[in-house]
């Protein structure tokens, strides 16, 4: 119902007015406090010599804290809260009216909350509480009680537009408030869902931090949004409980998608999160300057007219490079590489052998085994240098012994007293000089030895591993010669062009780990991996190395695994092979994006998949138009009809083509008449405008009001193309139009 028709309208309108008035007062106070702090900093700078003076540092910290508070007030002003829950705690007759918002706002003067942060423990009952007894975990322990009212608000620009009271007895999912939210138009940014989080989503968001969480979510289930909200929740809890800031990371499938989701975490108050792609992260860590071969070239190749045998070879190579078998081969290689890495020579000073080659190899292999090779070598060289310096007396004794014999010879064989005395003095001086030069000689001997070591180079060693004889030797009979030859020839052809593929990144990063280590090892308190079905087990092995414990949220949908040639086979395999069988598995079956009619059509498509473990989406009860399936005569008629459907500037529309080639053709035909249309390619990082043309493989994760498929009959029933088609037809919120042109039959 409209807000004005609700029996509590006047009361709620007054509450909203009072809350906004209070926020405005806090904004004014914070702005004044900011001016005072700025003045203090300016005055203190005149008194102190260093910018690192503790008074300056403290005042700057206070200023930053005040700026964060001010930003939170300003962002809350137009919509301070979205919900309310009335809670009666056991043993207390008073009912607490708790208003829930995106940010927690506290009245410091009266030491009471004005708005409860959606991530706080007590807010849990708003999302997951049902009729009757409820409880939540507070810092002081379990708090039990009863919910008396759950209310949702639609507030825009400080105006109360709608009030929705939830029926506690039914707790129906597809309530009026949720449906109203889903009816809204899409944008080219992902939005937060703090006002519409459902119980099953809330359980995932608030799941424990200390173990891996795998979320299998159907198209439109909100899995990406939920994972990002989980990240914001965990950051809030960590800082609240530990009082410190940790490092966090989100790994997205590509830069376009990264831009699409980039506003969510800052909007939720989680600013300092590294949002990147695996490709960018791996290239940055390894320092490899070679240009990354566009990963989606392979999709275009597999969708093209290449011979089936060649496509199978390409898929085989990709799967191998992402396998843990390849990791084991690299492990085997490095076990023997140690002996090749150490110089086959002695360390000597003035012809005296201090360490034999055998001694040196034994020392290196047995010591500092926990370090990567470069740091291991540095520690080893430092160890030898220190050991020699500590034992310089032994070297001096050797020199003493040598000169004692020379002096005795002079005394016994030279009769002339003056000559004999002069020669003895000369020998003593030479002896003392040699003993004095011992530190310099030690440094030179160590330096000479150090320079004989092989220079470590990640890409060079990767090339060495991808040699036929090397791969054959260290695969220990687990790969046929024919496949080894194919893998090596395929990889050499790419590397010779100074390029690398997406699938090369995991093994390259692993080689780099062996050689130089990962500076980020164990650095991140939590990592979110999105579109995880397209990541190999090898990639996940490396991701697990840079996170503390098992704190990873993994989200994806097997039905949308369009990169299955390099991705995981099943969540169970990932859990068992990489996560030690300890991951928690959650399934999201309900689809909130598309209408019932669109999802029923999408489910009929994915039914054709040979993978019977694929979970079909269950759309919530939001109805719309049945997908339009239009057969037209030729390409010109196709363009004419699409132009007629691009007149509504209020809606976002995506023309999703099977390939980039078709996307370019459609775009060239439309841009003459449509000024604000954008072509999305592999190189696109940001797009503006409400009308785009995009290849199917880049549309994954995005959503639009309307989707047009101009080449619906170009998709065949192979596993890859079924999934691509499924991805394309599950992008729209409201309308789906498919064209059959007879051009592909």
Annotated binding site for ATP: 217-224
Dist. CA 482–CA 495, nearest whole Å? 20
Residues whose CB is less than 8 angstroms from the CB of residue 366 and which lie 6 or more positions away in sequence, other chains included: none
The tokens describing 431, both together, are 């002896």
Vertex 657: Cα angle to 656 and 661 (nearest 5): 140
Within 10 Å of residue 103's Cβ, how many Cβ atoms? 20
693 three-state secondary structure: strand
Phi, psi for 738 (deg, rounded to 5)? -120, 135
Dist. CA 44–CA 737, nearest whole Å? 66
Vertex 528: Cα angle to 527 and 529 (nearest 5): 115
Query: For residues 525-554, b (16+ Cβ closer than 10 Å) or e, as one string?
Result: bbbbbbbbbbbbbbbbbbbbebbbebbbbb
Residue entry with tokens 């003045």: 39
CA neighbor of 584 nearest in space, from 128, 224, 202, 215: 215
Q: Is the alpha carbon torsion for 530, 536, 539, 543 positive or negative?
A: positive
Query: For residues 660-697, b (16+ Cβ closer than 10 Å) or e, as one string?
Result: bebbebbbebbeeebeebbbbbbebeeeeebbbbbbbb
Residue entry with tokens 């119980």: 199
> Which DSSP category does 583 fall into?
-
> Which DSSP category does 309 fall into?
H
The tokens describing 482, both together, are 């024919």
Find the length of the chain.
745
CA neighbor of 191 nearest in space, from 222, 234, 218, 216: 222
**Would you list which residues are annotated within the binding site?**
217-224
314 three-state secondary structure: helix
Residue entry with tokens 């030898």: 384
CA 52 vs. chain centroid, Å, equals 34
Residues whose CB is less than 8 angstroms from the CB of residue 441 and which lie 6 or more positions away in sequence, other chains included: 349, 350
| Cβ-based burial of 496 (10 A; exposed 0-12, middle 13-18, buried ≥19) | exposed
Residue entry with tokens 């695969």: 475
The tokens describing 109, both together, are 């003067």
Longest dimension (CA), the chain: 129
Residues whose CB is less than 8 angstroms from the CB of residue 88 and which lie 6 or more positions away in sequence, other chains included: 94, 95, 96, 145, 146, 148
> Which DSSP category does 189 fall into?
S
Is-contact 319 566, C-beta < 8 A? yes
């Amino acid at each position: 119902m409209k807000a004005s028709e609700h029996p509590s309208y006047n009361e709620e309108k007054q509450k909203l007015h009072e809350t906004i008035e209070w926020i405005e007062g806090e904004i004014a106070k914070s702005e004044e406090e900011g001016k005072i702090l700025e003045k203090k900093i300016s005055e203190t700078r005149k008194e102190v010599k260093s910018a690192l003076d503790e008074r300056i540092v403290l005042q700057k910290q206070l200023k930053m804290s005040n700026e964060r508070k001010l930003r939170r007030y300003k962002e809350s002003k137009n919509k301070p809260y979205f919900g309310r829950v009335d809670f009666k705690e056991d043993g207390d007759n008073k009912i607490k009216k708790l208003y829930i918002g995106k940010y927690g706002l506290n009245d410091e003067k009266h030491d009471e909350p004005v708005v409860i942060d959606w991530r706080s423990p007590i807010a849990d009952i708003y999302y997951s509480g049902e009729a009757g007894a409820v409880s939540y975990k507070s810092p002081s322990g379990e708090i039990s009680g009863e919910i008396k009212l759950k209310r949702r608000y639609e507030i825009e620009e400080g105006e109360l537009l709608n009030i929705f009271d939830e029926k506690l007895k039914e707790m129906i999912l597809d309530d009026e408030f949720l449906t109203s939210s889903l009816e809204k138009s899409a944008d080219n940014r992902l939005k937060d869902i703090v006002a519409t989080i459902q119980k099953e989503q809330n359980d995932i968001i608030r799941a424990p931090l200390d173990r891996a969480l795998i979320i299998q979510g159907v198209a439109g289930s909100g899995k990406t949004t939920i994972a990002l909200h989980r990240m914001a929740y965990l950051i809030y809890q960590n800082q609240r409980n530990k009082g410190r800031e940790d490092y966090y990371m989100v790994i997205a499938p590509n830069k376009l998608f990264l831009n699409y989701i980039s506003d969510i975490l800052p909007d939720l108050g989680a600013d300092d999160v590294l949002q990147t792609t695996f490709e960018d992260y791996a290239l940055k860590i390894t320092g490899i300057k070679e240009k990354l071969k566009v990963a989606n070239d392979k999709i275009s190749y597999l969708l093209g007219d290449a011979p089936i045998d060649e496509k199978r070879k390409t898929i085989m190579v990709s799967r191998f490079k992402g396998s843990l078998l390849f990791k084991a081969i690299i492990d085997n290689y490095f076990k023997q590489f140690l002996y090749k890495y150490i110089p086959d020579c002695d360390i000597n000073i003035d012809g005296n052998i201090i360490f034999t080659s055998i001694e040196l190899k034994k020392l290196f292999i047995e010591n500092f085994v926990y370090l990567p090779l470069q740091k291991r070598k540095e520690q080893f060289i430092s160890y030898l240098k220190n050991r020699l310096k500590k034992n310089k007396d032994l070297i001096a004794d050797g020199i003493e012994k040598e000169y004692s014999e020379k002096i005795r010879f002079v005394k016994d064989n030279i009769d002339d007293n003056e000559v004999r005395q002069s020669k003895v003095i000369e020998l003593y001086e030479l002896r003392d000089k040699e003993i004095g030069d011992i530190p310099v000689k030690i440094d030179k001997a160590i330096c000479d030895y150090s320079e004989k070591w092989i220079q470590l180079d990640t890409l060079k060693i990767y090339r060495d591993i991808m040699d036929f004889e090397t791969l054959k030797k260290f695969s220990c009979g687990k790969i046929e010669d024919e496949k080894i030859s194919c893998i090596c020839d395929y990889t050499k052809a790419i590397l010779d062009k100074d390029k690398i593929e997406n699938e090369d990144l995991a093994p390259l990063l692993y080689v780099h780990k062996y050689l130089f280590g990962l500076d980020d090892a164990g650095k991140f308190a939590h990592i979110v991996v999105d579109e995880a079905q397209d990541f190999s087990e090898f990639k996940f092995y490396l991701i697990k190395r840079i996170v503390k414990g098992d704190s990873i949220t993994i989200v994806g949908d097997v039905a949308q695994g369009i990169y299955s040639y390099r991705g995981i086979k099943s969540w169970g395999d990932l859990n068992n092979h990489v996560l030690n069988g300890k991951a928690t598995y959650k399934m999201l079956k309900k689809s909130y994006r598309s209408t019932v009619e669109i999802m029923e059509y999408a489910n009929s498509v994915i039914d054709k998949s040979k993978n019977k473990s694929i979970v079909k989406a269950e759309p919530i009860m939001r109805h719309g138009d049945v997908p339009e399936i239009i057969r037209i005569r030729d390409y010109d008629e196709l363009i004419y009809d699409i132009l007629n459907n691009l007149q509504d500037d209020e809606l976002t529309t995506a023309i999703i083509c099977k390939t980039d080639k078709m996307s370019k053709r459609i775009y060239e035909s439309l841009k003459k008449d449509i000024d604000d249309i954008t072509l999305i390619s592999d190189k696109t990082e940001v797009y503006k405008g409400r009308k785009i043309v995009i290849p199917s493989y880049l549309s994954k994760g995005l959503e639009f009001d309307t989707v047009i498929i101009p080449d619906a009959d170009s998709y065949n029933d192979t596993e890859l193309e079924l999934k691509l088609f499924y991805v394309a037809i599950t992008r729209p919120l409201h309308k789906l139009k498919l064209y059959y042109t007879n051009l592909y039959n």
